[in-house]
Amino acid sequence: MLPPLKNGEVLRSRYKIRERIGQGGMGSIYLAEDTRLKGRLCALKEVEYERALPEKIRDEARDQFLREATVLARLDHPNLPKVSDFFSNGPRDYLVMDYIPGDDLRTVLMEARRKKTFLNEKEVLSWADQLASALAFLHSQEPPIVHRDIKPSNLKLMPHGLIKLVDFGLVKILAPEEVTITIIQGQGTALYTPLEQYGGSDSHTDIRSDIYAFGATLYHLLTNEAPVDARRRFLEPESLIPLRQINPAVSQRTERAVLWAMSLHPDERPHSINEFRQALLGNREMPTLPIHTRRIHPVSTWDYLSHPPEATLTWSAAVLLLLSLLATLVR
């Protein structure tokens, strides 16, 4: 690996490095000034290839990076950072993206845990709605784009409440006719990674892999507890604790939707982001699945009445019963 870039170094006669703000297995992320657009800050995502790879493989990987960078540069969505440029500098390639200020949700989560409180479910679901919008946009591209590394630290909360899904380091363009090369080594973060994403092969990774990571991220945000990773769950099916056993304030609907998204087998998860979003926020009913968790928290009458659909049905039935009694008395 080559040494990191130095503060003050200028790339492409335009991007002046301020500082390194992140580091991964295949390169760093730098905060830089755009010297052509005064006052604009940007993030430079660095990709450095394994020198041990045969030259032909490195060239193919670089060609793939350029193809994927071209696709990312065309994307425009309010919950995604804009990719504005890409270029090569010696053996390294760079993506230039908007710099997103604010804390990531892992920082927000850790602060809540430090205070021994839970994040508000309504607020978490508002973030989920924004993330769902970004993922539905990515998955609707032709071919679909799978992020493959959704987690709290890749979700930035801007000062005015907007969520941005950052770090396209593990992005995969689903082109079934092509044999893809892993540009950025690694398969996501274990706590949020589905079983099919392990092992270095992308052959079984699709949009449902993002749905699993989405569910695992919500689990962490709502419970302050990291979810049990998929490999351990496969060996110990009852090791995942239901959300409401940790945080009883979480609604039944949210718990059921999150556990549905975290089903170990892709076929047992929602088949699209919109299907998951409807289960989480809308009127869609979740299927009954053999989701193995520890004993489900018992449902109280108050829990039942605290959800709008259930409350409406219950009070409607009560009113009808009262009216029938009054009619009987009048006779």
Element at 232 (helix H, strand E) = helix 230-235
Torsion of CA 211, 252, 246, 109, to 10 degrees: 50
Distance CA 232, CA 75 (A): 36
Burial class (CB in 10 A: 0-12, 13-18, 19+), 330: exposed
8 A C-beta contact, residue 104 and residue 155? yes
How many C-beta atoms lie closer than 10 Å to residue 219's C-beta?
26
SS3 content of the chain, % helix, strand, coil (to 5): 40, 15, 45
Q: What are phi and psi of 242, to 5 degrees?
A: -60, 150
Q: Confirm whether 63 is a catalytic residue.
A: no
Show the 3-state SS of 72-138.
HHCCCCCCCCCEEEEEEECCEEEEEEECCCCEEHHHHHHHHHHCCCCCCHHHHHHHHHHHHHHHHHH
Nearest Cα to 35, choosing from 12, 60, 65, 68?
12
Q: How many helices and strands (H and E) does the chain possess?
A: 10, 11
Place of tokens 């009883």: 248
Identify the active-site residue in 63, 76, 103, 149. Answer: 149
Identify which of 143, 291, 132 has the alpha carbon closest to the alpha carbon of residue 210.
Answer: 132
Quote the Cα angle for 82-148-267, to 5°: 130
Tell me the C-alpha distance between 127 and 105, whole Å: 10
> Which residues are designated catalytic?
149
